[in-house]
Amino acid sequence: MTKLVPNLSAHWDEADSHTLTGYQRHGGYTAMKKAFELGEDGVIAEVKESGLRGRGGAGFPTGMKWGFVPQGDGKPHYLVVNADESEPGACKDIPLMMLNPHSLIEGVIIAAYAIRANYAFIYIRGETPHPIRRVRQAVAAAYEAKLLGKNILGTGFDLEVVVHSGAGAYICGEETALLDSLEGRRGQPRLKPPFPAVAGLYASPTVVNNVETVASVPAIIKNGAAWYKSFGTEKSPGIKLFAVSGDVLRPGIFEAPLGITMRELINYAGGMVSDRPVKFFVPGGSSVPLLTPEHLDVPLTYEDMAAHGTMLGTGTPMVFDTSRSVTKAVVRWIEFYKHESCGKCTPCREGTYFMVDILKRLEKGKGELADLDLLVDISAQISGRSFCALGDAAATPIPAALKYFREEFESKLVGAK
Amino acid sequence: MAITEQFKNELRELIARYPEPRSALLPMLHLVQSVEGYITQAGIEVCAAEVGLTTAEVSAVASFYTMFKRYPVGKHHLGVCVNSMCALKGGDAIWNRISSDLGIGHDETTADGQITLERIECQAACTHAPVMTANWEFMDDMDETKAVKLVSDLQAGVEVRSTRGPKIRTFKEVSRTIAGFDDGEVDEPAIDDAMLVGLRAAKKEGN
């Protein structure tokens, strides 16, 4: 049995876990002092060594991302925290910002120091006022304690942090769309390259990192890369916030080493809510292909998920029991991508529209066999043919759903019994 | 309306937070909604003037984002999540019930201007499905009965509290919070069982 390892969530049961006092009671803001001793490159080396990978879904190695920022280029550098959590299933960054915002702020200080940025932005989803309040308060408290601002702790390092609110657009979780949005534009993705590390915010070198990624940094610096790597697997080191939702007895947040299994998480969640077993689960948000009960013992790591045709994604599994309709779940996900498609790329804009039409026809019992092939075909036409990952995500649910539950789709066709 | 000098000063306060003025545009538009109740032409004009854009450019930005409304929003904005998890766990039933009770559909407002209803996408609270929002504050683990009570309490002016956060104020007031101004509600508890289920299990194991 894999043991849970509360790290970022270790003190959420204390009423003041969101305050400076609450954070400092448990050694908060000591990691930044160690970071200043390590030096900028020392911090990047330590984070590289820890093997920390991006927790926003893509899983890109964080230290490597920081290392891409050109140094001595004479341009301002920026750190942007992607706090636009809106992926269906993902619900870990919002609680983290409400209950432990100072871990994020300390992570921002360390990350900005490492990439030589004197400005950092926290782009928070607009529809979530309470996390906005809590992060704003944390930033204000850090300024007051002289942990932000000019000449932090006498090191000569300056850092300004701006808390920014989005306005309801899932696409702004895509890093280049987020940057356009932060520049006060429509949130549409940019063609890469150039990558943000070279030309990001205001055409200057920029690192965009997820909330959980940045918040994980202080513990890594404080306890060392070796400590972090003692959890998880070689390719997926460390600890992760798993948010388990759906038909389990106690849905919630579980902090555990990567490599924990879905069966173990379900056990921690008190088992299934009824005597109905798992029908399917989605390991990392709606943008990753679903899995079935035969995958309950597969370790939740980047590499094991890939080996089973899916992705770890945001690490926020949704669990559905045998009473749930896979076709209905899929319709709502595709409707979501249709609604959130920014309209820039034709395959995504038009493809999601047609997929919703076809799926609704199926739901009404008016679909034909050819519609199933058409759904697969449209998915293939979208995948890899749009600027950003939203298109790829929209192409994800149907092939996996049809692979495992083709009979359920066929049962809804015209003439089916 | 209320495009006063004080309002303009607050727009400038937002602009001053950023290295480039235009970056303040989204928060500025939230602030417009906090006084106007939606994105008015007057609001677009003042934002354009303050950041040095044309009104067409500001309209193009405002029309991209679903939180920016082109018609007056009611005193209270209610959202019902109808994405997969919430829909299957009761969100559809909640939607059908309150949409029918109020006699309004998606993005519509009751005749008395009290309530605007919206079918919303995932609110990042799937551990609390089915989820509603009241002026964007979390209303977790809802069902039809709770939804009906939420609506009637808001209509009657009875104090309602978020299940993870502060008391529910109005759409205009929360728009000001979202724009980036303090409202004194920050310490209202945001913790509940779902947030603690993992920590409790770990402590029980002695980790």
Q: Coil, strand, or helix at residue A206?
A: strand
- In this prediction the ipTM stands at 0.98
Distance from CA of A324 to the nearest CA of B (A): 7
Judge whether A310 and A289 are in contact, CB under 8 Å: yes
Average pLDDT rounded to a whole number, residues A239-267: 98
Which of B 45-64 lie inside 8 A of A, CB atoms?
51, 60-61, 64
* CB-based contact, B188 to chain A, within 8 Å: yes
Residues from chain A that touch B67, judged by Cβ atoms under 8 A, are 126-127, 166-168
Q: What is the pLDDT of residues A59-79, one digit of tens each?
A: 999 999 999 999 999 999 999
Residue B150 Cα distances to A25, B106, B141, B187, angstroms: 38, 18, 13, 23
Fold agreement between A20-226 and A326-410: no
B198 in any annotated domain: no
Residues from chain B that touch A12, judged by Cβ atoms under 8 A, are 191, 195-196, 199
Domain ranges of chain A: 20-226, 239-321, 326-410
Judge whether A339 and B121 are in contact, CB under 8 Å: yes
Q: Which residues contact B204 (CB under 8 A, 6 or more apart)?
A: none
What pLDDT sits at residue B207?
72
Instruction: Write out the two tokens for B175.
Output: 């728009």
Write a three-state SS string for B58-118: HHHHHCCCCCCCCCCCCCEEEEEECCHHHHHHHHHHHHHHHHHHHCCCCCEECCCCCEEEE
B29, A167: Cβ pair inside 8 Å? yes
Q: What is the pLDDT of residues A263-273, one digit of tens each?
A: 999 999 999 99
Considering only the beta carbons, identify the residue of B22, B88, B188 that sits closest to A324.
Answer: B88
* Residues B58 and B100 occupy one common structural domain: no
Considering only the beta carbons, identify the residue of A10, A94, A164 that sits closest to B124.
Answer: A94
pLDDT at A387 exceeding the cut of 90: no
For residues B137 and B163, give the distance between their C-alpha atoms in angstroms, rounded to a whole number.
Answer: 8
* Residues B90 and B154 occupy one common structural domain: yes
Backbone angles phi, psi at A300, to 5 degrees: -80, 80
B127, A163: Cβ pair inside 8 Å? no
* CB-based contact, B1 to chain A, within 8 Å: no
Instruction: Write out the two tokens for B154.
Output: 């808001």
Q: What percent of chain B has pLDDT over 70?
A: 100
First to last CA, chain A: 44
What pLDDT sits at residue A145?
98
pLDDT at B1 exceeding the cut of 90: no
The DSSP code sequence of A23-58 is HHHTTTTSHHHHHHHH-HHHHHHHHHHHT-B-TTTT
Judge whether A99 and A9 are in contact, CB under 8 Å: yes
Residues from chain B that touch A139, judged by Cβ atoms under 8 A, are none
CATH number assigned to the domain comprising residue B124: 3.40.30.10
* Residues B100 and B24 occupy one common structural domain: no
Judge whether B118 and B106 are in contact, CB under 8 Å: yes
Considering only the beta carbons, identify the residue of B88, B89, B197 that sits closest to A269.
Answer: B197
Considering only the beta carbons, identify the residue of A87, A184, A324 that sits closest to B22.
Answer: A184
Q: What is the pLDDT of residues B167-193, one digit of tens each?
A: 999 999 999 999 999 999 999 999 999
* Residues B156 and B120 occupy one common structural domain: yes
Angle between helices A211-223 and A101-114 (to 10 degrees): 80
For residues A241 and A243, give the distance between their C-alpha atoms in angstroms, rounded to a whole number.
Answer: 6
B199 in any annotated domain: no
B67 in any annotated domain: no
**A326-410 architecture in CATH?**
Up-down Bundle (1.20)
Q: Which residue on chain B is closest to A178 by alpha carbon?
A: B23
Cα dihedral A183, A61, A285, A244 sign? negative
Residue A82 Cα distances to A70, A187, A194, B192, angstroms: 21, 13, 19, 25
B189 in any annotated domain: no
Cα dihedral A170, A175, A179, A180 sign? negative
* Residues B42 and B81 occupy one common structural domain: no
Instruction: Write out the two tokens for A311.
Output: 């992705």
The DSSP code sequence of A328-343 is HHHHHHHHHHHHH--S
Distance from CA of B109 to the nearest CA of A (A): 19
Domain count, chain B: 2
What pLDDT sits at residue A154?
96
Q: Which residue on chain B is closest to A93 by alpha carbon?
A: B124
* Residues B109 and B134 occupy one common structural domain: yes
* CB-based contact, B162 to chain A, within 8 Å: yes
Residue bearing the bigger pLDDT, A415 or B15: B15
The closest alpha carbon to B31, from B193, B173, B192, B167, belongs to: B173
Distance from CA of A184 to the nearest CA of B (A): 4
B91 in any annotated domain: yes
* CB-based contact, B88 to chain A, within 8 Å: yes
Mutate one of A128, A178, A202, A360 to test the B interface: name it (highest B CB count within 10 A). A128
Residue type at A38? L
What pLDDT sits at residue A417?
62
Which of B 3-22 lie inside 8 A of A, CB atoms?
17-20, 22
Pick the range with the lowest mean pLDDT from A205-214, A383-392, B7-16, B131-140: A383-392
Judge whether A318 and A246 are in contact, CB under 8 Å: yes
Mutate one of B32, B68, B85 to test the A interface: name it (highest A CB count within 10 A). B85
For the entire predicted model, the pTM comes to 0.97
Residues from chain A that touch B186, judged by Cβ atoms under 8 A, are 133-134, 136-137
B65, A187: Cβ pair inside 8 Å? yes
Considering only the beta carbons, identify the residue of A129, A332, A342 that sits closest to B177.
Answer: A129
CATH number assigned to the domain comprising residue B9: 1.10.10
pLDDT at B105 exceeding the cut of 90: yes
Average pLDDT rounded to a whole number, residues A178-204: 96
Q: What CATH fold (topology level) applies to the domain A239-321?
A: Ubiquitin-like (UB roll) (3.10.20)
Judge whether A249 and A272 are in contact, CB under 8 Å: yes
B182 in any annotated domain: no
Average pLDDT rounded to a whole number, residues A378-384: 94
A16 DSSP 8-state letter:
T
Residues from chain A that touch B197, judged by Cβ atoms under 8 A, are 250-254, 268-270
Cα-only R_g, chain B:
19
* Residues B57 and B92 occupy one common structural domain: no
Cα dihedral A85, A55, A212, B19 sign? negative
B67, A119: Cβ pair inside 8 Å? no
First to last CA, chain B: 57
Report residue A415's pLDDT band, with 50, 70 and 90 as the boundaries: confident
Residue A130 CB-density burial (10 A; 0-12 exposed, 13-18 middle, 19+ buried): buried
On average, the pLDDT of chain B sits at: 96
What pLDDT sits at residue B206?
81
Backbone angles phi, psi at A247, to 5 degrees: -85, 40
| Structural domain range at position B130 | 76-170
What pLDDT sits at residue B54?
98
B75 DSSP 8-state letter:
S
For the domain made up of A20-226, the CATH class stated in words is: alpha beta
